């Protein structure tokens, strides 16, 4: 819990959200849980990835939900890290939340379609 007070962003997958809901005794929708974390820990953003289904990025002012692109999955190692890195990089470059989210989804799907966590992106 202490690390949440030091964080600006909380990134989790759907399994981790279920665990955190149980750990903190939370009920409600994903959006309600994300808002609870933002309000109680002064987070700027909560990011939820749900594997092959979708991902959602929550901020106090905006929500972006995108379907996960359908790709031939070869290896999922590194997909979450690639998602996070692309999202942060895009936001730091000044892209909108939606644009950054689209980039994150695209890069993560690319990583899943290649063997290993560090495929060469062209």
SS in 3 state form for the chain? CHHHHHCCEEEEEHHHHHHHHHHHCCCCCHHHHHHHHHHHHCCCEEEEEECCCEEEEECCCCEEEEECCCCCCCCCCCHHHHHHHHHHHHHHCCCCHHHHHHHHHHHHHHHHCCCCCCCCCC
d(CA 45, CA 69): 23
User: What average pLDDT does the segment 71-81 reach?
Assistant: 92
Give the total number of structural domains in the chain: 1
- Which domain CATH number covers 82? 3.40.1190.20
117 in any annotated domain: no
Tens digits of residue pLDDT in 10-68 = 999 999 999 999 999 999 999 999 999 999 999 999 999 999 999 999 999 999 999 99
pLDDT band at 117 (very low <50, low <70, confident <90, very high): low
120 in any annotated domain: no
pLDDT band at 122 (very low <50, low <70, confident <90, very high): low
């Amino acid at each position: 819990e202490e690390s949440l007070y030091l964080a600006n962003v909380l990134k989790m997958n759907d399994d981790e959200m279920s665990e955190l809901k149980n750990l903190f005794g939370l009920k409600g929708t994903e959006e309600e849980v994300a808002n609870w974390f933002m309000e109680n820990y002064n987070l700027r953003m909560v990011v939820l990835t749900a594997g092959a289904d979708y991902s959602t990025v929550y901020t106090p002012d905006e929500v972006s939900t995108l379907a996960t692109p359908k790709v031939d999955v070869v290896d999922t190692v590194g997909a979450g890290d690639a998602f996070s890195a692309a999202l942060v990089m895009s936001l730091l470059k000044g892209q909108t939340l939606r644009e950054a989210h689209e980039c994150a989804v695209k890069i993560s799907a690319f990583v899943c379609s290649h063997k290993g966590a560090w495929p060469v992106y062209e």
